[in-house]
Amino acid sequence: MVIQFLLFLAFYAIAKRLLHKIRSLPPSPFLTLPVIGHLHLLKKPLHRSLSQISRRHGPVTLLQFGSRRVLVVSSPDAAEECLAKNDIVFANRPRLLARKHLGYNYTSLDSSPYGEHWRNLRRIASLGLLSTNRLLTLSSIRTSEVRSLLRLLAKSGSQSVDMKCAFFELMLNVMMQMIAGKRYYEENVGEVEEARKFREIVTQSFRVGGVTNIGDFLPFLRRMGLEGLEEKITALHKKRDEFMQSLIDESRSGEGDESPEESAEGGKRKTLIQVLLSLRETEPEYYKDETVKSLMLVLLLAGTDTSALTMEWAMSAMLNQPEILKKARAEIDEVVGHDRLVNESDLPKLSYLHCVVNETMRMYPVLPLLIPHESAKECCVGGYRVPRGTILLVNLFSIQNDPNYWPNAAKFRPERFTGMEGVRDGYKMMPFGSGRRGCPGENLALRMIGLTLGSLIQCFEWNRISDELIDMTEGTGLTMPKAQPLLAKCRPRSFTSDLLSQA
Ligand code: HEM
């Protein structure tokens, strides 16, 4: 019986291999098992496991995740072929279970297929929140939230501070104010219930948001209800939906609207909810509650965790190499001085700080596999045929940490970016993705990260809580968190309290 089974396996593997060759498909690992395909080769974190597979099989590899074909690309050339030459072909998102429920049946901005509806959502996101004009109008929200954080840290004395929480709360306050006109965390006020709920929503959403839900690839598990995932996701969707509905209801009733009254230009400043609700008056059919809720949710989630995690990685890397922190501080002292706080308009002149941010996003891309794409029709990548309906994972982590493209790749060395403008270096460095599905929040994220890190470095002396280096191991999920939250100590510099009392 065992021999028969082994013979069957050998025959199956050889037949698969032959078929693969005849169909000009990209290389794959030899042992494709019945039913599970290559799932037995995968470990967490997924981006590291995929990097290992690509090292053996090349930068364009085709895997079988159970019933789904997955193309993994891990070189700049292959990424360019997918995101530039075949940009429209790969502009779809795969239909995964989490996206069905959490993405309002694939209609949310991040999960909807490429087309008219998606284009419209991107336009509204820009109009209501992310365009350069809107960002300028909303700049005082960012400045005042960063200053609140500085004041809070100034009171921490010699105690260690949980910087993961601090960055998360900062970003949540900023995003919440821009979207719904309210803030959750006040100086001297502990965590409020609503904020705790939202933090739970974020953590759970990113946990189920990637391509690691086995039920997506082995549908029989789902049908048999063995995984229990669908129930978990449905419960999470309910929580998220209720949370958003309460924000809309509050906004309609005018309650809880703390949005600052005047913009920099003196006009009334509108929150995203207000923009969406006013659009609904002209087009009620299109701007249903679901559309409004899903757009707010995507922006709130996408904006909070990604930027907060990047700041946490940056501070951790700098605390492990205090000479970098010192160099960044010297630059700030020279450009800004001690008589005023850093502001966003200083950022273009803080070129070393910009290098630190770039080096952080190179080594620790918070979306290490971007967001999964899917091919809408057959296409060609690296000379191989890629069938329609193939999931695409661009292994950004692998590309940005590959010693073939980055000398001394494992070393955190901001100087390597000296003289580079922006955060893009062809397809070997693209932390915000590229092409039609590239990140629409890049401008906002860079402003917030630069302003926050610049202000923290300007106002405080930073230290690790012990002599031990900070653990830089990554955790798992759609985004790449640090496995251990960053704890640090900070001491205000001699001029800090004067600056904060004037701010
Ligand atoms: C450090 C901060 C951030 C990083 C590194 C980042 C990175 C990315 C990446 C890599 C993608 C996927 C691109 C692809 O699939 O090809 C993405 C998508 C997206 N990002 Fe960001 N992002 C950041 C901050 C933000 C912010 C602040 C917002 C908005 C408030 C935002 C909104 C989005 C949205 C809505 C998408 C989905 C776009 C679509 O499917 O059309 N992101 N981001």
pLDDT at 264: 46
pLDDT at 487: 97
Please determine, for residue 194, whether its predicted confidence score (pLDDT) is greater than 90: no
For residue 260, cis peptide bond before it (omega within 30 degrees of 0) = no
Tell me which residue has its CA closest to atom 30 in ligand 1. Answer: 303
User: Atom of ligand 1 at shortest distance to CA of 449?
Assistant: 1
pLDDT at 9: 66
pLDDT at 191: 55
User: Atom of ligand 1 at shortest distance to CA of 436?
Assistant: 41
Ligand 1 centroid to residue 264 C-alpha, Å? 26
The mean predicted confidence, pLDDT, of the chain is 90
Q: At CB < 8 A and 24+ separation, what contacts does 237-245 make?
A: 237/101, 237/102, 239/197, 239/200, 239/201, 240/102, 240/201, 240/205, 240/297, 241/293, 243/194, 243/197, 243/198, 243/201, 244/293, 244/296, 244/297, 245/289, 245/293
Average pLDDT over residues 267-288: 84
165 has binding-site annotation: no
Please determine, for residue 5, whether its predicted confidence score (pLDDT) is greater than 80: no
Enumerate domains of the chain plus CATH numbers.
2-502 (1.10.630.10)
Interatomic CA distance for residues 135 and 142, integer angstroms: 9
Lowest average pLDDT, out of 285-289, 301-305, 483-487, goes to 285-289
Tell me which residue has its CA closest to atom 9 in ligand 1. Answer: 432
The torsion defined by the Cα of 422, 427, 429 and 433, in degrees rounded to 10, comes to 80
User: Atom of ligand 1 at shortest distance to CA of 298?
Assistant: 35
pLDDT at 122: 96
Interatomic CA distance for residues 465 and 462, integer angstroms: 10
Q: What are phi and psi of 328, to 5 degrees?
A: -65, -40
Lowest average pLDDT, out of 175-179, 277-281, 336-340, 425-429, goes to 277-281
Q: Which tens digit of pLDDT belongs to each residue from 354-412?
A: 999 999 999 999 999 999 999 999 999 999 999 999 999 999 999 999 999 999 999 99
Closest CA to 163 of 453, 478, 467: 453
Let me know: does 26 contact 384? Beta carbons within 8 Å.
Answer: yes
Ligand 1 centroid to residue 298 C-alpha, Å? 10
Q: Which tens digit of pLDDT belongs to each residue from 206-264?
A: 777 665 677 788 877 766 665 677 888 899 999 999 999 988 888 877 655 554 445 44
pLDDT at 232: 85
Ligand 1 centroid to residue 429 C-alpha, Å? 15
pLDDT at 212: 66
Let me know: does 248 contact 292? Beta carbons within 8 Å.
Answer: yes
Ligand 1 centroid to residue 473 C-alpha, Å? 23
- pLDDT-derived band at 22, boundaries 50, 70, 90: low
User: Atom of ligand 1 at shortest distance to CA of 122?
Assistant: 41
Query: What lines the ligand 1 site, CB under 6 Å?
Result: 109-110, 298-299, 302-303, 306-307, 310, 366-367, 370-371, 431-433, 437-441, 444-445
Please determine, for residue 197, whether its predicted confidence score (pLDDT) is greater than 60: yes
pLDDT at 371: 95
pTM: 0.93
Please determine, for residue 3, whether its predicted confidence score (pLDDT) is greater than 60: yes
Burial of 30 (0-12, 13-18, 19+ CB in 10 A): exposed
Interatomic CA distance for residues 125 and 439, integer angstroms: 11
pLDDT at 218: 82
**How crowded is residue 194: how many other Cβ atoms within 10 Å of its Cβ?**
15
Ligand 1 centroid to residue 56 C-alpha, Å? 30
Higher pLDDT residue, 96 or 428? 428
pLDDT at 213: 76
- pLDDT-derived band at 503, boundaries 50, 70, 90: confident
- pLDDT-derived band at 289, boundaries 50, 70, 90: confident
Lowest average pLDDT, out of 122-136, 144-158, 223-237, 424-438, goes to 223-237
Report the largest interatomic distance among the alpha carbons of the chain, rounded to a whole angstrom: 82
Average pLDDT over residues 148-167: 93
User: Atom of ligand 1 at shortest distance to CA of 111?
Assistant: 40
Please determine, for residue 266, whether its predicted confidence score (pLDDT) is greater than 70: no
pLDDT at 261: 47
**How crowded is residue 53: how many other Cβ atoms within 10 Å of its Cβ?**
20
pLDDT at 315: 98
Burial of 267 (0-12, 13-18, 19+ CB in 10 A): exposed
Tell me which residue has its CA closest to atom 19 in ligand 1. Answer: 439
Best probe residue, ligand 1, of 174, 175, 306 (max atoms within 8 Å of C-beta): 306
Let me know: does 397 contact 369? Beta carbons within 8 Å.
Answer: yes
User: Atom of ligand 1 at shortest distance to CA of 112?
Assistant: 40
Average pLDDT over residues 34-39: 92
Ligand 1 centroid to residue 19 C-alpha, Å? 38
- pLDDT-derived band at 188, boundaries 50, 70, 90: very low
Ligand 1 centroid to residue 439 C-alpha, Å? 4
Ligand 1 centroid to residue 126 C-alpha, Å? 13
State what percent of residues in the chain have pLDDT above 70. 90
Q: What are the b/e assignments for 122-140, b being 16+ CB within 10 Å?
A: bebbbebbbbeebbebbbe
Helix (H, G, I), strand (E, B), or coil: what is residue 321?
A: coil
Tell me which residue has its CA closest to atom 38 in ligand 1. Answer: 110
**How crowded is residue 241: how many other Cβ atoms within 10 Å of its Cβ?**
18
Q: How far is CA 251 from CA 86, 179, 244, 262, 273, in A?
A: 42, 10, 11, 18, 7
Interatomic CA distance for residues 68 and 61, integer angstroms: 14
Higher pLDDT residue, 164 or 181? 164
Ligand 1 centroid to residue 302 C-alpha, Å? 6
- pLDDT-derived band at 280, boundaries 50, 70, 90: confident
Q: At CB < 8 A and 24+ separation, what contacts does 22-25 make?
A: 23/385, 24/384, 24/385, 25/62, 25/384, 25/385, 25/386, 25/387
User: Atom of ligand 1 at shortest distance to CA of 309?
Assistant: 1
Average pLDDT over residues 2-19: 69
Best probe residue, ligand 1, of 178, 439, 452 (max atoms within 8 Å of C-beta): 439
Interatomic CA distance for residues 473 and 364, integer angstroms: 10
One-letter amino acid for residue 427 of the chain: Y
Higher pLDDT residue, 225 or 465? 465
